[in-house]
């Protein structure tokens, strides 16, 4: 069901002529009691799906903003199991697909079978594990497949053509195109060949291609949206929640709508 829910959400966006917008929030940042409210708010503003970060002590792909959000969540004693329990309680209150972003260590500690089963109970549609290389993904892929949970692959701008093709062919839900050589975090601009990189992935991917890492403004959404199917926005969304600037969050999500998208 998870994979179907994700594919249906992307199909609806495409039908509308819009670009997909997937905001990232750290589960438990501000306490788990804020999670349901934030999910419903992002759904109401028109997000396509929500990427939900799991706080972890050694987040190798995360920039300062997401690391700090993770530290705040860990101080609230938030864990993978408490997040999945909270999602299970909340799942009837929204319809938007939820994608979990976690590192491999918490999944191993949880137990692969239990993790996949509990994700299903919590209504999770997809999983992103940035430190899981494609060569080792059979550690989790069989259990996720059994529960129809999409395993979303990340592809790097520095990946070889052969590796890009392999990741594009194997990704489920969507292909997460990392647009910078480095960690997450808002940036002023992208390198000149970013359009060529995204367009080349779109040409070979069987699932939608979403650009992420450093997307922070409506201009970024417009620029990248010309070449792919949408964007993932993390650090900027976290900052705006911290600033309680809800209007700016709505404006950023709405910038992916067809009436706003340029090109």
Given a contact cutoff of 8 angstroms between Cβ atoms, the answer to whether 28 and 71 are in contact is: no
Residue 187: both structure tokens together: 């940036």
* C-alpha–C-alpha distance, residues 209 and 190, integer Å: 17
Q: Is 86 a catalytic residue?
A: no
- Residue in 29, 51, 118, 172 annotated catalytic: 51
Residue 39: both structure tokens together: 């999910």
Given a contact cutoff of 8 angstroms between Cβ atoms, the answer to whether 53 and 83 are in contact is: no
For tokens 């199917």, the residue is: 229
Give the three-class secondary structure for 108.
helix
Q: State the angle between helix axes of 218-225 and 194-204 in degrees (0 to 180), rounded to the nearest 10.
A: 50
Cα–chain center distance at 23: 7
Residue 263: both structure tokens together: 């090109």
- Residue in 18, 43, 58, 62 annotated catalytic: 62
Per-residue burial over 86-123, b if 16 or more Cβ lie within 10 Å, else e, is: bbbebbeebebbbbbbbbbebbeebeeeebbebbbebb
Per-residue burial over 248-258, b if 16 or more Cβ lie within 10 Å, else e, is: ebbebbbbbbe
Q: Half-sphere exposure of residue 72, counting CA atoms within 13 Å on the CB side?
A: 18
Q: Is 62 a catalytic residue?
A: yes
Which residues are tagged catalytic?
51, 62
């Amino acid at each position: 069901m998870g994979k179907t829910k994700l594919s249906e959400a992307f199909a609806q966006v495409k039908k509308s002529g819009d670009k997909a917008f997937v905001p990232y929030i750290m589960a438990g940042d501000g306490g788990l009691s804020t999670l349901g409210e934030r999910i419903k708010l992002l759904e109401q503003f028109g997000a396509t799906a929500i990427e939900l970060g799991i706080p972890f002590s050694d987040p190798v792909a995360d920039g300062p903003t997401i690391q700090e959000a993770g530290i705040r969540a860990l101080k609230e004693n938030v864990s993978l199991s408490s997040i999945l329990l909270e999602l299970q309680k909340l799942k009837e209150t929204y319809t938007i697909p939820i994608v979990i972003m976690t590192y491999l260590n918490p999944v191993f500690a949880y137990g692969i079978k239990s993790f996949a089963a509990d994700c299903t109970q919590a209504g999770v549609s997809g999983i992103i594990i940035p430190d899981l290389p494609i060569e080792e993904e059979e550690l989790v892929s069989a259990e996720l497949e059994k529960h129809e949970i999409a395993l979303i692959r990340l592809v790097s701008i520095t990946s070889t053509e052969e590796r890009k093709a392999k990741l594009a062919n194997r990704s489920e839900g969507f292909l997460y195109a990392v647009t910078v050589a480095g960690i997450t975090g808002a940036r002023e601009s992208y390198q000149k060949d970013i359009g060529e990189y995204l367009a080349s992935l779109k040409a070979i991917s069987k699932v939608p291609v979403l650009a992420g890492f450093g997307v922070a403004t409506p201009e970024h959404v417009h620029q990248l949206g010309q070449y792919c199917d949408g964007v993932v926005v993390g650090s900027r969304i976290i900052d705006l929640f911290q600033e309680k600037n809800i209007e700016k969050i709505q404006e950023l999500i709405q910038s992916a709508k067809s009436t706003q998208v340029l090109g």
